[in-house]
């Protein structure tokens, strides 16, 4: 199992960039942390989600 934003999911073996797009995230507008390491935007398509990964997807929110 994989933890994404605190929720356990069965996503091992899935490409991280594909997961983001399928889940409605705009990859260019988020920061992704995998096992406490930030993944550079240009490498999101190279990351395969592994069993036991802990992933946090953070969105920027503007306001005034």
**21-55 pLDDT, tens digit each:** 999 999 999 999 999 999 999 999 999 999 999 99
Q: What is the pLDDT of residue 62?
A: 75
Q: What is the pLDDT of residue 60?
A: 80
63: confidence class by pLDDT, cuts 50, 70, 90? confident
pTM over 0.85: yes
Q: Break the chain into its structural domains and give their ranges.
A: 2-59
Look at residues 49, 53, 50, 31 and name the one whose alpha carbon lies nearest to residue 40. 31
Instruction: Round to whole Å and give the CA distance between 4 and 42.
Output: 20
CATH 3.10.20.30, domain 2-59, yes or no: yes
64: confidence class by pLDDT, cuts 50, 70, 90? low
């Amino acid at each position: 199992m994989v933890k994404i934003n605190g929720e356990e999911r069965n996503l091992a073996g899935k490409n991280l960039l594909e997961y983001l797009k399928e889940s409605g995230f705009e990859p260019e507008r988020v920061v992704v942390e995998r096992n406490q390491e930030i993944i550079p935007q240009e490498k999101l398509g190279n990351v395969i989600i592994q069993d036991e990964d802990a992933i946090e997807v953070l969105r920027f929110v503007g306001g005034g």
